[in-house]
Amino acid sequence: MTYLYQEQNWQSQMSDLITSPQELLEQLQLSPTELLSGALLASEQFKLRVPRAFVKKMEIGNAYDPLLLQVLPHHLELEEHEGFVTDPLGEEQANQLPGVLHKYKSRFLLTLTGACAVHCRYCFRRHFPYQENLPKNDDWLHIKHYLEQHPEINEVILSGGDPLTLSNRKLALWIERLESLAQVKILRIHSRVPIVIPERIDEELVYLLKNSRLRVILVVHANHAAELDALTCSKLSMLVKEQILVLNQAVLLKGVNNSTSVLIELSQRLFEAGVLPYYLHVLDKVKGAHHFDLHTNEIDDIYRELLASLPGYLVPKLVREIAGEKNKTPLFGASSF
Ligand SMILES: *Cc1c(COP(=O)(O)O)cnc(C)c1O
Ligand code: SF4
């Protein structure tokens, strides 16, 4: 296996994802015996899906690699745990129109695709019925009407699924639609694709975003510094150079990044690429993700140390999403969560 990395068209990477646990373990030269049967069972509930470019960032032979743990199905996912449910955020109820999720006052989420480039095992959307809830082409008129009825919305967030799995042509169409409404000032894109397939930041996309009338914010999702290799950082920097605000959100995950030194390195590496840490999410209590959960006291200790170690602008806000709340809930001090 070679570590030389050739830039490769992102669409061809999307059509060549690893979906077989056996193949993933072979690529990493891991003996399949202990891990494979659990992975096969757990992948029946939520399939394995990971781009080869992301696997290349993992350490060969390390069954506890923090990137591998985020994507390899595990038998522990099959355990039932009290409080861990299929729709922890009550999103099914917040759904106003196909594709639209309006929970916070000034901004709403627009889901244009249910597809992701990677399946993160801890994802709160692992049970969400994506495919039934996507806007069709003429739903734009309903969405437009909804926006007009809610002049307090000035920011539209493309979320997912993952909006950067869409073609540039389709993104351009939706950006044009949003630009046609004067009330919309800000376009936010929440995507993990730039981390798992950095080539997605192609010239056409950069052109599209930098020429929009809208102020564009890209929020990527990396949980560990090892996800930010040289190519990924250089692609993110390209956007930063074009005045696009690039932020990162991470999820605090047992075995992956529950260590102050790992989080410090993550913030520092992001900053080198011109990206600022935005949110550090506490795990959503989704069924199948219990083994990533951390004790409140441990979270508190990690965060306290993070605050004491980094300048304020490199400390992400520690938050939890609570169903029915008007914003993400800031957490600090064990008593608050
Ligand atoms: C997280 C989220 C947002 C964005 O919240 P910010 O605090 O502005 O980042 C908007 N809508 C929904 C439904 C969300 O879950
Ligand atoms: S929505 Fe985000 S966190 Fe969830 S599986 Fe897709 S990329 Fe991963």
Mean pLDDT (the chain) is: 93
Pocket lining for ligand 2, CB < 6 angstroms: 116, 118-120, 123, 125, 160, 162, 192, 221
Known binding positions: 116, 120, 123
- Residue 228, classed as helix, strand or coil, is coil
Low-confidence ranges of the chain (pLDDT < 70): 1-7, 92-95, 129-132, 333-337
- CB-based contacts of 79: which residues, under 8 Å, 6+ apart? 290, 291
- Identify the pLDDT of residue 88: 86
Through-space distance between the first and last CA atoms of the chain, rounded to whole angstroms: 46
**Same domain, yes or no: 252 and 131:** yes
CA of 222 to the centre of ligand 2 (A): 11
pLDDT digits (tens, 9 = 90+) for 128-155: 766 667 898 789 999 999 999 999 999 9
- CB-based contacts of 290: which residues, under 8 Å, 6+ apart? 76, 79, 81, 84
Kindly report the CATH number assigned to the domain that includes residue 105. 3.20.20.70
pLDDT digits (tens, 9 = 90+) for 58-72: 999 999 999 999 999
Q: What is the dihedral of CA 229, 231, 234, 238, to 10 degrees?
A: -130
Domain assignment of residue 84, yes or no? no
**Same domain, yes or no: 147 and 111:** yes
**Same domain, yes or no: 96 and 72:** no
CA of 169 to the centre of ligand 1 (A): 26
Q: Whose CA is nearest to atom 4 of ligand 2?
A: 123
Domain containing 27 equals 2-77
How many structural domains is the chain composed of? 2
pLDDT digits (tens, 9 = 90+) for 222-268: 999 999 999 999 999 999 999 999 999 999 999 999 999 999 999 99
Whether residue 189 has its Cβ less than 6 Å from ligand 1 = no
Whether residue 103 has its Cβ less than 6 Å from ligand 1 = yes
Final residue before a domain boundary, out of 47, 77, 107: 77
Domain assignment of residue 85, yes or no? no
